[in-house]
Amino acid sequence: MLHYDLIIVGGGLVGASLAVALRQTGLRIALIDAKLTSSDDPRLFALNSSSCQFLENLKIWPSLAAHAAPIHQVHVSNHGHFGVVRLRREDVNLPALGHVVPACIIEAALNEELMALPNFTLYRPAKLKTLCQKNNNVQLIIATANGEKILQSPIVFGADGPDSTVREQLNIHTEIFDYEQSAIVVRTTLKRSHEHIAYERFNVDGAIAMLPLTGNECATIWTANTKAQSQLMELSDEIFLQKLQHEFGYRLGRLQLTSKRHIFPLRMVRAKKIVDQGVFLLGNSAHTLHPIAAQGFNLALYKVAMLAESMMEKISKNEVFTASHLQEISVQIQKQQATSIGISHRLSALFSSHSFLPSIALQLGMISLNVTTPIKKRFIERMLGKTGCVPRLLLSQMI
Ligand SMILES: Cc1cc2nc3c(=O)[nH]c(=O)nc-3n(C[C@H](O)[C@H](O)[C@H](O)COP(=O)(O)OP(=O)(O)OC[C@H]3O[C@@H](n4cnc5c(N)ncnc54)[C@H](O)[C@@H]3O)c2cc1C
Distance (Å) from CA 53 to ligand 1 centroid: 20
Mutation to probe ligand 1, out of 8, 14, 74, 220 (largest number of atoms < 8 A from CB): 14
pLDDT (tens digit per residue) in 103-138: 999 999 999 999 999 899 999 999 999 999 998 999
Residue 379 has pLDDT above 80, yes or no: no
Q: Report whether pLDDT(32) > 80.
A: yes
| Lowest mean pLDDT, pick from 111-120, 124-133, 350-359, 368-377 | 350-359
Q: What pLDDT shows up at residue 398?
A: 34
* Mean pLDDT computed over every residue of the chain: 86
327 CA to centre of own chain: 22
Q: Which atom of ligand 1 is nearest to the CA of 221?
A: 1
Which numbered atom of ligand 1 lies nearest the CA of 266? 53
Distance 13 CA to ligand 1 centre (A): 7
Question: pLDDT-derived band of residue 40, with 50, 70 and 90 as boundaries?
Answer: confident
Does residue 289 or residue 125 have the better pLDDT?
A: 125
Helix, strand, coil percentages, rounded to 5, for the chain? 40, 30, 30
Atom of ligand 1 nearest to the CA of 35: 47
How close is the Cα of 382 to the center of ligand 1, in Å?
22
Q: Which residues pair with 30 in a beta bridge?
A: 7, 121
Ligand 1 site: residues with CB under 6 angstroms?
9-15, 32-35, 43, 45-46, 127-128, 159-161, 165, 183, 185, 221, 264, 283-284, 291, 294-298, 300
- Atom index in ligand 1 nearest the CA of residue 162 equals 30
Pocket probe mutation, ligand 1, options 122, 160, 163, max atoms within 8 Å of Cβ: 160
Cite the beta strand spans of 243-303 per DSSP E: 255-258, 262-271, 275-276, 279-281, 287-288
Rounded to a whole number of angstroms, the distance between the first and last alpha carbons of the chain is: 37
Could you tell me if 266 and 181 are in contact, meaning their C-beta atoms sit under 8 angstroms apart? yes
Determine the pLDDT at residue 383: 54
Q: In whole angstroms, give the CA distance from residue 274 to residue 164.
A: 12
Instruction: State residue 364's pLDDT score.
Output: 44
Average pLDDT on 164-174 reads 97
Write down all domains in the chain, each with its CATH number in brackets.
Answer: 2-40+100-175+267-368 (3.50.50.60)
> Which pLDDT tens digit goes with each residue over 301-341?
989 998 999 999 988 898 888 999 999 888 888 776 666 55
Residue 176 has what pLDDT?
93
Average pLDDT over residues 217-236: 96
Higher pLDDT, 235 or 179: 235
When comparing pLDDT for 353 and 61, which is higher?
A: 61
**3-state class (DSSP) for residue 328:** helix
Measure 38 CA to ligand 1 centroid, in angstroms.
14
In this structure, the number of other CB atoms found within 10 A of the CB of residue 137 comes to: 16
Report which protein residue has its CA nearest ligand 1's atom 15. Answer: 296
Whether 220 shows a pLDDT value over 70: the answer reads yes
